[in-house]
Structure 1
Amino acid sequence: MSKVGINGFGRIGRLVLRRLLEVKSNIEVVNKNWPPS
């Protein structure tokens, strides 16, 4: 399983996450900026 880090969930982050969920890829999404400080 590969890990992909998304730096924030703005417009592009949400689009990337949505696409990864649609194709049911073998990728784990990691958000290291959560929770916001």
Structure 2
Amino acid sequence: MVEVTVRELRNHGGEVLDRVIAGERLTVTRDGR
């Protein structure tokens, strides 16, 4: 499973959501947790 930081989600939210809609499973992390 791919990890995505909160910063990435904030800066590239649309792209991250597109990946999830396409079926990719992601874990959102903050400070590496």
- State the TM-score, normalized to the length of structure 2: 0.39
Larger Rg: 1
